Structure 1
Amino acid sequence: MRKFFFIFGLLISFCALSESTLVHPFELEFSAPENRFHLKAELFLSCRYEKLVWGDSSEFHVKNETVSLPITIKKSQIKISHSKTSSLKLDGRFRSNPGCMSELRLIFTDAQYAVGWAGQMNRPIMFVLKEGHFYRTGDSVLDISKLENQIANRLVDFSYVPTTGQVNIWMTADGQRLSISPTSSAIDPVTRMPYRLKTK
């Protein structure tokens, strides 16, 4: 009888659920100094769940999808477009812990300067701006309003601040430092800037 209740309770725990994440169409526009950096924009969508496994063991499965977004650049004006709805969904029976997430990633790669540490002259300085949420149960929608408030219709740039032994670099919008953590590079003693990027 005890075994029966255990199996019955286990069956109940394998719930039929629907989890999804949704990204509606949007446009994000800002400006930047010409030839300051290279930009890549992408959406990352992911769903995960604990697979149906008998017993006390756990086995998780993750499904990911990355969507590259088109970027239009006219002189110093940059527009990132997402023209159709993107979604990722889970259907079926899961033991527990199902959830989905989505994230907008903007990857800014310095076109002029290198990290420089340990001779890394081919490695550019880089920042990644992200907006999204962690895994959530049920249906969720990506909200990029915080990122829009930071950079939309503003001048996005890198700020290089030399110190005694390195250069500290921030991302800025209209001259104000963004909340993203700064990075640093080795300092060229001649120019008091990061070392120039060496391309292959």
Structure 2
Amino acid sequence: MRVLALLLLLPLCTLALPARAQNTIHRCVDAHGNPVFTDQPCTSQQATPVQAPPPASAASVATPGLPAPLQRCAGTAAELRQRVIDAFAARDPNQLAGLMLWHGYGHVSAVDDIRALSRLVRQPLLEIHFGDDPGDDPASAGSDLSPVASSAAPPADELQLRTGGDDGERSARFAITRQAGCLWLRYGG
């Protein structure tokens, strides 16, 4: 009887094997700010790697009916910058909104800003830097969208973005504020 049960389980085990044999997917942003998902390294695609989200542990996996797990806040300028780049790569206004400090917003102004963020992330991200001068940001060395290992100096009080699209280039400014050990954005248009 045990042999029969084992023989019945054998086809189920063989079905699970192909899922483990899949290649790694590389998340990248091309020169135009578009997200690229490939099985090849980003450099072979002339693209910049985007940090993948940390693997979900059993404790942080969302369970239906329960709220989604909380994300850590950006503690450094480099983290904040990378998360903005990741939000553009995913074209996700909610991901960008999650980096914002929303205290003091009324319903109408919050809805207006979320709509503006939605329009903003649909555009390719061309440049991102702290302060008024693109050269004053240690993170802007090399490619404007390259990830930064660390940024010990505190960022300027503003993050500036330049996007481009069919209707031309646009710029957006976010005030940066530190609260509870985190760096937060305040949308300035």
Range of TM-score over shorter length: under 0.3
Structure with larger Rg: 1
* Superposition TM-score, scaled by structure 2 size: 0.24
Give TM-score scaled by structure 1 length.
Answer: 0.23
Judging by fraction of residues, say which structure has more strand: 1
Q: Which has the higher helix share?
A: 2
Higher relative contact order (CA 8 A, sep 6+): 1
